[in-house]
Amino acid sequence: MPHYTTTVHTTMLEIITDDSLDAASLAQACQRNLAWVQARVIDGVLTPSTGTRNPEAVASWRFAATCIVRARRLALLEHTYEADPQLAAMTVDLMEEVLELRRRLRQH
């Protein structure tokens, strides 16, 4: 079985409060363009905390800081494995669920 490794580089460290990211900032944090974020929101893969997925409201979209992790995972899976966005999203959902279950196990 082949073994894949991936390196993620970050160039900026900033304290981000919830709902402070606009779509352009999220795109930049994932090293993607605004159209990438728009497409993921329209498909329901990323969810703005403002509640609307209307592409005409992109200027008013705000994202929680925790969305950066999800968006970066999506971008990485799509890029590394040439995964379809929906498949990448399902994979990220499973990753998040496993992390949540592990967290619960540690509490007990």
pLDDT value at 15 more than 70: no
Which amino acid does the sequence have at 9?
A: H
pTM of the predicted model over 0.85: no
DSSP string, 48-72: -TT----GGGGGG-EE-TTHHHHHH
pLDDT digits (tens, 9 = 90+) for 16-54: 556 679 999 999 999 999 999 999 999 999 999 987 888
**Token pair for 30:** 């994932």
